[in-house]
């Protein structure tokens, strides 16, 4: 049981401190752009560590006397949601009490929305912000005012907006994109870092001349870790007296498509099992345990899909390449190439298949664990 309390691995939430492997070269590159007010978009697969990187970069900027804001828009579906997330980020940002007063006074429509609350953690009075009964017109005005008011947060301001592509899912004919572009240009003391996982969507936002955010940001591909990640994992095991074969971690990284969150998840389970030596066999066993723990969720997801979508996943899981060939369409009982293409688009929209490679006749599961479960479940099909 002692090893559970000493577990050097963490998964699920963004990681920091001893659980985080720094990316100094990437951090220097991104910081160089941001300090010169060149806005940046980090683009990479989900669960790849973009949020952890952004939060750790934010700490670096706080040390450099920036006023920092982290806005998570993953679950937004409307302008109201976007505004709520902006206000939430302001409320919980470090040092907000001393700086938000000026911001609130600069936004007349926000004043009636401010309420007195008791902080559940400290028991001290705090400010509450609500826009539940505001009209769409007022919501849009407040979004513009909050963005314009960022200049009051300090001499230098750094804003992170996580899951950037979500702004395109609001049916507003590009209004939010255009509003962001306007304030990105006008705020002379503010740098924006956006993160996103839908590469095709983001590159269209940045490279399509008809889009408001055309060439407004520097895109940077978020890279996979190199060999230093394997070294780091092995050292973590050694720090608790567990011998770990390097080949075992390299094997794990390949299986989970180099996804740091899943590497840490499997390693957490390996530590929890109290093994004295980590081998390829132990990794396979722990990975199987993790996959089985998620089986109900994956089966539920599969049951929510149409028969054609399920067949498309079988094709993707078993074949992966040249999926539009006549032989494979017949083998997996898919009526035609257009039917397969339509199914792939739907699965991409649901976040089940990754968009990369689909134009070249290949598909990739967005979630490597789901891919492993799928291959195991339909191994004999």
* Confidence at residue 322, expressed as pLDDT on a 0 to 100 scale: 80
Q: Note whether residue 35 is domain-resident.
A: yes
* Confidence at residue 115, expressed as pLDDT on a 0 to 100 scale: 53
Provide the mean pLDDT of the chain: 88
Same domain, 70 and 215: yes
The yes-or-no verdict on residue 368 having pLDDT over 50 is yes
* Confidence at residue 104, expressed as pLDDT on a 0 to 100 scale: 62
The yes-or-no verdict on residue 380 having pLDDT over 60 is no
* Confidence at residue 357, expressed as pLDDT on a 0 to 100 scale: 46
* Confidence at residue 361, expressed as pLDDT on a 0 to 100 scale: 61
The yes-or-no verdict on residue 158 having pLDDT over 90 is yes
Q: How far is it, in rounded angstroms, from Cα 51 to Cα 298?
A: 24
Same domain, 233 and 270: yes
For the chain, the domain total comes to 2
pLDDT band at residue 186 using 50, 70 and 90 as cut-offs: very high
Pairing verdict, β 125-129 and 218-221: unpaired
* More reliable by pLDDT, 365 or 230: 230
Q: How far is it, in rounded angstroms, from Cα 81 to Cα 329?
A: 42
pLDDT band at residue 294 using 50, 70 and 90 as cut-offs: very high
pLDDT band at residue 3 using 50, 70 and 90 as cut-offs: very low
The yes-or-no verdict on residue 232 having pLDDT over 60 is yes
Same domain, 37 and 136: yes
* More reliable by pLDDT, 269 or 108: 269
Same domain, 205 and 245: no
Same domain, 112 and 243: no
Read off the DSSP letter of residue 224: P
Same domain, 90 and 214: yes
Q: Note whether residue 113 is domain-resident.
A: yes
Last residue within a domain, chosen from 221, 250, 267: 221
* More reliable by pLDDT, 76 or 93: 76
Mean pLDDT on 312-317: 89
Same domain, 192 and 146: yes
- Neighbouring residues of 277: CB distance < 8 A, sequence distance ≥ 6: 242, 243, 244, 245
- Neighbouring residues of 184: CB distance < 8 A, sequence distance ≥ 6: 39, 190, 192, 216
Domain that holds residue 233: 229-377
CATH number at residue 366: 1.10.10
* Confidence at residue 370, expressed as pLDDT on a 0 to 100 scale: 94
Last residue within a domain, chosen from 221, 237, 261: 221
Last residue within a domain, chosen from 221, 255, 285: 221
Mean pLDDT on 115-134: 56
pLDDT band at residue 169 using 50, 70 and 90 as cut-offs: very high
Same domain, 233 and 132: no
Q: How far is it, in rounded angstroms, from Cα 156 to Cα 149?
A: 13
Q: Note whether residue 5 is domain-resident.
A: no
């Amino acid at each position: 049981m002692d090893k559970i309390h000493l577990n050097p691995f963490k998964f699920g939430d963004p990681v920091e401190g001893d659980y985080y492997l720094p990316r100094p070269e990437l951090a220097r590159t991104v910081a160089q752009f941001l300090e010169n007010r060149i806005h940046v978009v980090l683009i990479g697969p989900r669960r790849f560590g973009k949020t952890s990187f952004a939060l750790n970069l934010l700490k670096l900027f706080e040390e450099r006397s920036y006023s920092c804001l982290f806005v998570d828009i993953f679950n937004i579906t409307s302008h109201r949601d976007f505004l709520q997330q902006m206000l939430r980020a302001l409320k919980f940002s470090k040092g907000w009490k001393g700086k938000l007063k000026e911001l609130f006074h600069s936004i007349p429509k926000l004043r009636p929305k401010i309420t007195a609350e008791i902080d559940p953690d400290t028991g001290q009075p705090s400010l509450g912000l609500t826009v539940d009964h505001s009209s769409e017109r007022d919501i849009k005005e407040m979004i513009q005012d909050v963005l314009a008011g960022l200049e009051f947060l300090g001499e230098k301001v750094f804003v992170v907006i996580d899951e950037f592509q979500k702004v395109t899912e609001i049916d507003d004919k590009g209004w939010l994109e255009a509003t962001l572009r306007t304030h990105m240009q006008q705020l002379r003391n503010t740098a924006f870092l956006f993160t996103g996982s839908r590469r095709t969507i983001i590159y269209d936002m940045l490279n399509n001349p008809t889009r408001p955010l055309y060439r407004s940001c520097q895109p940077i591909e978020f890279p996979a870790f190199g060999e230093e990640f394997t070294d780091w994992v092995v050292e973590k095991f050694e720090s608790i007296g567990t011998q770990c074969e390097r080949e075992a971690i390299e094997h794990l990284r390949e299986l989970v498509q180099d996804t740091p969150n899943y590497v840490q998840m499997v390693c957490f389970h390996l530590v929890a099992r109290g093994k004295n030596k980590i081998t390829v066999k132990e990794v396979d066993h722990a990975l199987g345990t993790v996959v089985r723990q998620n089986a109900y969720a994956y089966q539920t997801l599969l049951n929510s899909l149409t028969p054609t979508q399920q067949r498309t996943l079988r094709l993707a899981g078993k074949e992966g390449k040249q999926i539009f060939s006549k032989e494979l369409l017949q083998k997996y009982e898919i009526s035609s190439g257009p039917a397969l293409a339509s199914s792939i688009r739907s699965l991409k929209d649901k976040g089940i298949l990754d968009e990369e490679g689909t134009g070249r006749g290949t598909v990739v599961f967005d979630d490597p664990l789901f891919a492993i479960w799928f291959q195991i479940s339909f191994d004999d099909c």
